Structure 1
Amino acid sequence: MEAESRQWTAALVVIGDEILSGRTQDLNVAQVAVWLNQHGIRLAEVRIVPDDLNRIAETVNALRAAHDYLFTTGGIGPTHDDITVDAMAAAFGVPVVVHPDARRILEDYYRDRPGGLTDARLRMARVPQGAELIPNPSSGAPGVKMGNVYILAGVPYIAASMLEALAGKLEGGRPVVSVTVGARAPESDVADLLRETEAANPGVAIGSYPFFREGRYGANFVIRSEDGELAKRTGEELARRLREEGYEPVAGGI
């Protein structure tokens, strides 16, 4: 019973100067969050850090100690500024080595490709000593697992492929179920109603997300719970009370 009620958490470190400069728009936060929720793990914290070895190592050590899992995206490619592996090794206090299985994977992947396995491409076989590999069906170069830290590629479709390879391999709780109720109701008008509904239904959390469409204000109220039936009942109750108060429902709500 204790295992069922435990809340598993993870953090995500997005690594890269290109994210902080705005040149590249990050897409990994959303897909990592969705994937984690499917495994009953809540993404509790996200940090974006530059390509700075010390900053990465400090952030990794802080977050891996604070959460059950830590994921990182970015900085494991073939170029000189891909320093995530080096930073991870510094965080764990171990040297960087070429993983023999990673080297074999890259040799096979590049055998019939122009240029073959160059020194630059071989950088993608480097791991902190003692690390395990995360399969990468998309582009050959594997991800890396070190303790409770999972090092993924920054390219979203490759990161997604690595997450698929991890499916079912992490311990977690129950996924959080979300139910959305939409209404033409300004948040300030229904704040007390939302608070009362949440208090009357222990085990749910209600978030409010305003919108402005077709010249009118409204909001989507999202009910979240690990108990799917409870989330549904609470959503139905909230939708009924909003109708009774005279607020028009909007498409997508209950």
Structure 2
Amino acid sequence: MAIRAGRSPLLHLLALAFLILAASPCLQARVDHRKQNVSSGRKDGPHLLGRSKEITHMKLRRVAVRKKMEVVQQDDEALVKLENAGIERSKAVDSAVLGKYSIWRRENENEKADSRVRLMRDQMIMARIYSVLAKSRDKLDLYQELLARLKESQRSLGEATADAELPKSASDRTKAMGQVLSKARDLLYDCKEITQRLRAMLQSADEQRKESSPIVRTWKILIFTIMLFSRTMFWQHQLWSTQPS
């Protein structure tokens, strides 16, 4: 019993030493693995930081592009609204003013007593403008035709201030003038040049204000009407040019 008791502590020590020796490779492997992780983490740290910065930069670029697209979309919507508003205004003017220049205009509508007189005066103004444009562009046949129709309208209009004072031939001459003006508009229409001619006529009329102020007021009204007609034709030209062929 004494021998067994003396050997027991020694056996325990030997067993403990054996376990330590057996476990030492595992402990060393764990230590080496941790060292490798720490060293690899130190090496990959700058790379990961640069990668995160690159991702952040890409996100910022995407946000900037998205904002630009939203601004462009808003501009397109505003442009469409302006175009639609212009088209609606041109339609309103077409029904109110431009119908008087059409050779197919309605004859049975309720018109004022001087509607045909005013129409003939408007036609004469446009005939003078188109005659100047036709001559400047060597459209001599159209130029002569406009002058002939202008003389006929002047003879028919005379000093009339109401439709009842016009001769019976005034209706046919109004339609003939409308056809010539329609032809001239297709060949010579230029909004900028027409506006310049109207301004020149208005300036010339202003210089004669003291001599005949009622005539000047009449001319201003007529010129305003024709300028409105020119703007409307400009909007229609823009609309036709945007439609696919």
Larger Rg: 2
Q: TM-score when scaled to structure 2?
A: 0.22
**Larger relative contact order (C-alpha < 8 A, sep ≥ 6)?**
2
Q: Normalising to structure 1: TM-score of the pair?
A: 0.22
Where is the helix percentage greater, Structure 1 or Structure 2? 2
Q: Point out the structure with the larger strand share.
A: 1
